[in-house]
């Protein structure tokens, strides 16, 4: 039962095993659990009592006696002092006459008004500045918007022009038959091969091979 | 104002989103500003509350109800104590003597470590344990010296 919680042997012991292959030693990383009985080897062991130094003990007794007396006196003194101070202090019950109260109120109001005035002045300046800044920002944004609109308009016009130029070659309902006839009449074959001189030889089925090869030769 | 809530590594729930939460604020610890509730006649104690982290102790000197755990909200913080010596070999300690006087006047108990510190700082009588540590250290030093000379 005790074996199950013994952790793996540590590195030092492992090296020892490899060296001697004789002594296997288990290292416990923990204390004996509280509910385990006293080990048999410790059962009859009498722990050594700590030695008492009589002189030191007497000296400590004397010091403690003195200390306790002095502390008691100091504490009594402080307690009395604190109590007396509490009795004479007016920290928790301030006595003020109505005239004093009014004067104090007046003084506070004056201070408050002066402070308010200075803050109002600051605020006015700050708001003025912010307004001017906002105005500038809006103007800049408007200008930017006009420029962007102009660019977009130009782009749209360009696109329309391109479409119009392409529309000439569109196949529509009215020229569909014509286009089909043309396509059937002129089949084109894109299969070709190249010989060692770089000449392009066109397809197997198309009829206009000569024409196409002439074109590639010209290119 | 920097928005600390955005910077914080772990999202700290704040009741008021307008109040910024420092990213370095302890997450599990109550604030040292003194939100602890207490009874008027309950036993208070001036004692150390361990802050800091693993292998790096740092203490607040706090006033708390004596029965409460150190990590619960405190009534008031009245000092700090850094037990690890700094580069000048000093252990830094601060006390708010005015408030300590007040709380002693109210009958607050003082724990032994705080009593020792108060003794060294001259507010209280020197604690016997301070004397004891001193003479034991002297003995140890003398023993080491004799060993070296031999």
DSSP for chain A, written as a single string: --GGGPPPP-HHHHHHHHHHSS-------SPPPTTSPPPGGGTT--PPPPPP-HHHHHHHHHHHHHHHHHHHHHHHHHHHHHHHHHHH--SS-----HHHHHHHHHHHHHHHHHHHHHHHHHHHHHHHHHHHHHHHHHHHHHHHHHHHHHHHHHHHHHHHHHHHHHHTT---STTHHHHHHHHHHS-----EEE-TT--EEE-SS-S-HHHHHHHHHH-
Residue A122: its pLDDT value, please?
97
Tell me, yes or no, whether B115 lies in a domain: yes
Tell me, yes or no, whether B36 lies in a domain: yes
User: Are B81 and B96 within 8 A, CB to CB?
Assistant: no
Between A134 and B51, the higher pLDDT residue: A134
Tell me, yes or no, whether B69 lies in a domain: yes
Residue B102: its pLDDT value, please?
94
Instruction: Say if B97 is an interface residue toward chain A (CB within 8 Å).
Output: no
Tell me, yes or no, whether B8 lies in a domain: no
What mean pLDDT do residues B65-89 have?
Answer: 93
Tell me, yes or no, whether B74 lies in a domain: yes
Instruction: Say if B115 is an interface residue toward chain A (CB within 8 Å).
Output: yes
Tell me, yes or no, whether B54 lies in a domain: yes
* Least confident stretch, A70-79, A134-143, B4-13: B4-13
Instruction: Say if B32 is an interface residue toward chain A (CB within 8 Å).
Output: no
Q: What is the DSSP letter of B95?
A: E
Interface ipTM: 0.79
Q: Among A55, A68, A71, which would you mutate to test the B interface (most chain B Cβ atoms within 10 Å of its Cβ)? A: A71
Q: Are the beta carbons of B101 and A60 separated by less than 8 Å?
A: no
Provide the residue count of chain B. Answer: 150
Please say if the pLDDT value at position A208 is more than 60: no
Please say if the pLDDT value at position A2 is more than 90: no
Chain B residues touching residue A70 (CB < 8 angstroms) = 125
Q: Are the beta carbons of A81 and B101 separated by less than 8 Å?
A: yes
Per-residue pLDDT band for B35 (boundaries 50, 70, 90) equals confident
Q: What percent of chain B has pLDDT over 70?
A: 81
Tell me, yes or no, whether B87 lies in a domain: yes
Per-residue pLDDT band for A18 (boundaries 50, 70, 90) equals low
Per-residue pLDDT band for A79 (boundaries 50, 70, 90) equals very high
Between A22 and A120, the higher pLDDT residue: A120
- A/B interface, count of CB pairs below 8 Å: 33
Residue A3: its pLDDT value, please?
44
Q: Which domain holds residue B52?
A: 26-149
Looking at the 3D structure of chain B, how many domains does it have? 1
Instruction: Say if A79 is an interface residue toward chain B (CB within 8 Å).
Output: yes
For residue B123, the domain's CATH number is 3.30.1320.10
Instruction: Say if A67 is an interface residue toward chain B (CB within 8 Å).
Output: yes
Instruction: Say if B101 is an interface residue toward chain A (CB within 8 Å).
Output: yes
Distance CA A57, CA A145 (A): 95
Nearest partner of B2 among B26, B23, B20, B29, judged by Cα: B20
Q: Are the beta carbons of B105 and A83 separated by less than 8 Å?
A: yes
Tens digits of residue pLDDT in B82-123: 999 999 999 999 999 999 999 999 999 999 999 999 999 999
Q: Are the beta carbons of A82 and B105 separated by less than 8 Å?
A: yes
Q: Are the beta carbons of B105 and A67 separated by less than 8 Å?
A: no
Please say if the pLDDT value at position A40 is more than 70: yes
Tell me, yes or no, whether B135 lies in a domain: yes
Residue B10: its pLDDT value, please?
45
Please say if the pLDDT value at position A180 is more than 90: yes
What are φ and ψ of residue B95, in 5° steps? -135, 145
């Amino acid at each position: 039962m005790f074996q199950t919680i013994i952790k793996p042997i540590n590195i030092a012991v492992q090296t020892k095993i490899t060296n001697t292959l004789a002594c296997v030693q288990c290292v416990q990383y923990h204390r004996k659990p509280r509910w385990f009985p006293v080990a048999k080897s410790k059962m009859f062991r009498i722990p050594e009592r700590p030695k008492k130094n009589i002189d030191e003990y007497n000296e400590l007794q004397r010091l403690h006696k003195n200390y306790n007396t002095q502390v008691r006196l100091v504490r009594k003194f402080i307690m009395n002092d604190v109590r007396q101070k509490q009795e004479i202090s007016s920290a928790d019950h301030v006595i003020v006459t109505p005239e004093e109260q009014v004067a104090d109120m007046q003084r506070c109001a004056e201070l408050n008004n002066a402070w308010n005035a200075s803050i109002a002045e600051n605020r006015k300046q700050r708001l003025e500045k912010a307004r001017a800044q906002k105005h500038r920002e809006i103007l800049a944004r408007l200008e930017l918007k006009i420029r962007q609109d102009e660019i977009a308009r130009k782009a749209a016009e360009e696109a329309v022009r391109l479409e119009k130029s392409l529309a000439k070659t569109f196949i529509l309902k009215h020229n569909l038959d014509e286009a089909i006839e043309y396509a059937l009449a002129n089949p084109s074959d894109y299969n070709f091969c190249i010989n060692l001189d770089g000449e392009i030889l066109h397809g197997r089925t198309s009829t206009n091979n000569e024409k196409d090869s002439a074109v590639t030769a010209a290119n | 104002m920097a928005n600390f809530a955005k910077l914080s590594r772990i999202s700290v729930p704040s009741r008021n989103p307008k109040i910024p939460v420092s990213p370095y604020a302890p997450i599990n610890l109550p604030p040292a500003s003194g939100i602890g509730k207490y009874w008027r006649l309950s036993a208070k104690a001036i004692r150390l509350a361990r802050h800091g982290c693993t292998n790096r102790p740092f203490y607040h000197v706090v006033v708390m109800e004596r029965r409460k755990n150190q990590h619960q909200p405190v009534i008031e913080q009245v000092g700090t104590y850094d037990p690890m010596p700094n580069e000048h070999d000093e252990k830094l300690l601060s006390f708010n003597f005015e408030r300590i006087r007040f709380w002693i006047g109210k009958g607050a108990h003082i724990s032994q470590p705080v009593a020792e510190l108060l003794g060294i700082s001259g507010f209280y009588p020197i604690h016997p344990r301070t004397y004891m540590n001193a003479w034991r250290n002297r003995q140890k030093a003398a023993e080491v010296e004799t060993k070296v000379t031999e």
